[in-house]
Structure 1
Amino acid sequence: MPRLLRPLFLFPLFAGLAACSEGVESMPEMPAPAVGAALYRVTFEASWSAATHASFPAGAHFSAVVGASHRADGLLFQPGQLASAGIKDMAERGNNTKLRAEINALQGSGAAFRLLEGRGNINSPGMVADTIRLDAAHSRLSLVTMIAPSPDWFVALENENLLGADGQWVAERRIAARAYDAGTDGGATFTAPDQPMLPAGVIVRLPLPPPTGPAPDGPPLGSWHLERIK
């Protein structure tokens, strides 16, 4: 009699273990913990000079830096696309009024988070620093400043994502400050007279040459130094 009962006794035990095993396998993965907002110090270190680039003009400087923290769809500009009215005014005249309004509109739609706008021109070589806040939904940073004098050339930090693949904020990053042509003026030299492009061309990278020797991409005009401070 006991020999007949043993298999019947063990059956509920095996069935229970199998059910537990199925329950463990079907448990959904827990989402990664949400990351909080971050505050970054942004330093633009301008190195453009007669020692770094050919045809260095008298009175060389950059306009006040302006930009925003934003989502992937909150771009201020994009190479290969036409410049907005705000980018055109910034690149041609160092005037940020229209670009500030465009950033305000992006903020209103939720595509941008915070505005960064410096004050006054930046001598080159020279340096300027400011701070900006980002959050997990707006982890990218774009900044621009006019190369002056120039037809419509500017330096930019383009769509830099500061939220790492591990879901954590980057502690520090340094990015080369590269030149762009806004495509709105046809001048070919720093001091060329106004030559409006009609129709306008698209934004492209601008390889400004060094004083001597080849440099297909052109030396950077400085660097962007990003440091998380909170």
Structure 2
Amino acid sequence: MKKITLLFFCICFIPLLSFSQSTANYTVEFASIWEEVSTNPTDGQSTINLPNSAHWSPLALVTHQTADTFFKVGAAASPGIEDIAETGGTNIFQNEVNTNADADKVVVGSGLGSAKGSIVINSLDVSENYPLVTLASMIAPSPDWFIGINGISLRSGNNSVNNGWKDTFTIDLYPYDAGTEDGNLYSGSNPDSNPIGVIASRSNVTPFNDKKIGTLTFTYNSSTLSAETANTVDSIKIFPNPTHGHITVSNIQNIELSSVKVYNVLGRLVKQIKVIKDVSKLHANLTDLSKGIYLLNLKTIDGKNKSEKLVIN
């Protein structure tokens, strides 16, 4: 076997810009009021009896930049959302978050072992650069039903109050269907949907009526506005990585780049990606490169560098 020696590039990252960054802290509480209409004719949501094993899966929450990144009504569910909706598992969803440059962090709260009650995530820190929240929890047992919110912004737009963060507010929650399994009963054993459908509202579809199934409250605790020196070139992210050949260079601060180059493990330039000025995301097709390990190098107009290992599968 031919021996390949990997070359390691030591890059010195030098701070480029000072800016004010606001962060906020919230308490997040999901309150479930899931019950039968026969028990509560006014506010009950289930038109059939709840199973004795009725419960909620761990609450999975992600903070991110762009709406519709992790799920969207009318679109197919990602494997992560499918897993939450069908099994209550969060590992696949966490991996989706951790490999997506649009996301900042994923937080998994506790589950709830009964139909009614609450799940609380204490001390959620949110950054101004990642102010959107997406959240999901399985309605269990069920084929593929869940509650969720998609890309709710915690920014108010009024910087004179709470440094621009929303004060305490509450959202009503309704059931969704992930479109991945068939069934109208509270059962975890169901055939796959064929063809696979899209995420849709489950309101007024058996076994639910049009009543809300719970609420989600964001309680504002505090916020800060700090001036700090940031290594902005280090904020540029490349995803997905590993990749099957297509990558995105996410440059949300619009740092002016002079070059984006790909080198093989021997240090030979194999690809140069065209730089477009004032574009926050560059898309590159690397499918002509062989599978393996590469080094992607970013260079700013004033000579600062960032290098990152890139794996093509």
Same fold (TM over 0.5): yes
How far apart are the structure 2 equivalents of 1:192 and 1:159? 28
Pick which of 220-229 and 200-209 moved more.
200-209
Pick which of 74-83 and 89-98 moved more.
74-83
2:104 aligned with 1:113, yes or no? yes
How far apart are the structure 2 equivalents of 1:211 and 1:145? 18
* Per-residue CA distance 1:35-85 (angstroms, 9 max, x = gap): 511111000001101221211421211101002111115722111111111
Partner of 2:95: 101
Pick which of 148-157 and 66-75 moved more.
66-75
Which has the higher relative contact order, 1 or 2, with Cα contacts under 8 A spaced 6 or more apart? 1
Partner of 1:203: 199
Pairing 1:3-18 to 2, within 5 Å after superposition: none
Partner of 1:173: 169
Q: Gapped runs of 5+ residues in structure 1?
A: 1-32
Distance 1:35 1:174, change over 3 A: farther
Task: Specify which of 173, 182, 196 is matched with residue 178 of structure 2.
Answer: 182
State the Cα distance separating 1:210 from its structure 2 match: 9.7
RMSD between aligned alpha carbons? 2.2
Pick which of 111-120 and 176-185 moved more.
111-120
Partner of 2:143: 151
Partner of 1:40: 26
Between structure 1 and structure 2, the one with the greater Rg is: 1
Q: Gapped runs of 5+ residues in structure 2?
A: 1-18, 223-313
How far apart are the structure 2 equivalents of 1:192 and 1:90? 12
* Structure 1 residue identity aligned to 2:143: P
Distance 1:100 1:192, change over 3 A: closer
Distance 1:40 1:121, change over 3 A: same
2:51 aligned with 1:55, yes or no? no
Pick which of 114-123 and 59-68 moved more.
114-123
How far apart are the structure 2 equivalents of 1:208 and 1:116? 31
| Equivalent pair of 2:29/2:218 in contact (CA under 8 Å) | yes
Distance 1:69 1:122, change over 3 A: farther
Higher helix share: 1
Task: Specify which of 58, 61, 82 is matched with residue 88 of structure 1.
Answer: 82
How far apart are the structure 1 equivalents of 2:143 and 2:131? 32
* Structure 1 residue identity aligned to 2:154: L
Distance 1:114 1:192, change over 3 A: closer
Distance 1:209 1:161, change over 3 A: same
How far apart are the structure 2 equivalents of 1:75 and 1:210? 29
Task: Specify which of 70, 75, 86 is matched with residue 76 of structure 1.
Answer: 70
Distance 1:219 1:74, change over 3 A: closer
State the Cα distance separating 1:193 from its structure 2 match: 4.0
| Equivalent pair of 1:209/1:219 in contact (CA under 8 Å) | no
SS in 1 for 2:62: strand
State the Cα distance separating 1:128 from its structure 2 match: 1.3
| Equivalent pair of 1:69/1:141 in contact (CA under 8 Å) | yes
Distance 1:143 1:211, change over 3 A: closer
2:58 aligned with 1:64, yes or no? yes
State the Cα distance separating 1:201 from its structure 2 match: 0.5
How far apart are the structure 1 equivalents of 2:213 and 2:153? 21
How far apart are the structure 1 equivalents of 2:107 and 2:148? 13
How far apart are the structure 2 equivalents of 1:192 and 1:99? 19
Partner of 1:13: none
Partner of 1:137: 129
Higher strand share: 2
